């Protein structure tokens, strides 16, 4: 089982949005209505270039990436904004199947979540899209996670919340479960291609029925 992080296990999508907006505004850029959805699933190099080249922030991509990630890490310092019960869902699934995380977050934030929830030993594979050629909706991060788990992608399930994340898992030929993000709802056309859950808490029971 492969989990996305932002919006599935950690309630961070709005925080990413707030931080990026403030950094862009502080450095001479202009936010666009489509910018939030456009960046969902992008790897760090991809969204950093987007903030500079599309939104006009007067920094280099490396500079803006460092500023945004440093601010996110500062907000995670006490404890990441873990979605209620998310760590217990991961534990329940890990009792029966190998578990990985495939996220667009940088490694420092993925490991912050795993450490804060004491999940490091239960989640042996954690892949950031920084570590692959392309971020979501490309399937790269999911394919690498499956490879590191030692299973074929076709024998993996993934859980996602956003349009680009769902498209990435579908492109990897995985069984895909959606827990739609209430703040940034996925494209209804994509939801018709996956199994939709009303909450993450439903996942262990749903997987048990199809095991």
Q: Find the CATH number of the domain harbouring 85.
A: 3.40.50.1000
What is the Cα–Cα distance from 60 to 76, expressed in whole angstroms?
A: 24
What is the Cα–Cα distance from 177 to 159, expressed in whole angstroms?
A: 5
pLDDT-derived band at 93 (thresholds 50, 70, 90) equals very high
Q: Do both 94 and 150 map to the same domain? A: yes
In this structure, the strands spanning 100-103 and 125-128 are parallel
Last residue of a domain, one of 75, 96, 116: 75
Tell whether the model's pLDDT for residue 211 goes beyond 60.
no
Average pLDDT over residues 11-30: 95
Tell whether the model's pLDDT for residue 192 goes beyond 70.
yes
Q: Do both 115 and 197 map to the same domain? A: yes
Q: Do both 199 and 99 map to the same domain? A: yes
Q: Do both 30 and 114 map to the same domain? A: no
163-171 and 140-149 are packed helices; what angle lies between their axes, rounded to 10 degrees?
A: 50
Name the pTM for this structure: 0.89
Q: Which domain holds residue 31?
A: 13-75
Q: State both tokens at 110.
A: 């993925």
């Amino acid at each position: 089982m492969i989990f996305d992080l932002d919006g599935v296990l950690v309630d961070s999508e709005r925080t990413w949005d707030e931080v990026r907006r403030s950094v862009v505004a502080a450095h001479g850029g202009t936010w666009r209505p489509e910018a939030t959805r456009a960046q969902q699933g992008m790897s760090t190099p991809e969204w950093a270039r987007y903030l500079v080249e599309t939104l006009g922030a007067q920094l280099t991509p490396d500079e803006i990436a460092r500023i945004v990630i440093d601010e996110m890490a500062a907000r995670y310092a006490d404890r990441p904004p873990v979605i209620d019960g998310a760590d217990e869902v991961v534990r329940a699934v890990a009792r029966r199947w190998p578990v990985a995380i495939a996220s667009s977050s940088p490694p420092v934030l993925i490991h912050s979540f795993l450490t804060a929830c004491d999940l490091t030993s239960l989640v042996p594979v954690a892949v950031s899209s920084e570590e692959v050629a392309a971020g979501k909706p490309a399937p790269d991060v999911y394919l690498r996670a499956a490879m590191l788990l030692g299973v074929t992608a076709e024998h993996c399930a993934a859980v996602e919340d956003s349009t680009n994340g769902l498209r990435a898992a579908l492109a990897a030929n995985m069984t895909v479960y959606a827990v739609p993000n209430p703040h940034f709802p996925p494209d209804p056309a994509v939801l018709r291609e996956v199994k939709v859950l009303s909450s993450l808490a439903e996942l262990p029971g749903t997987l048990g029925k199809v095991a």
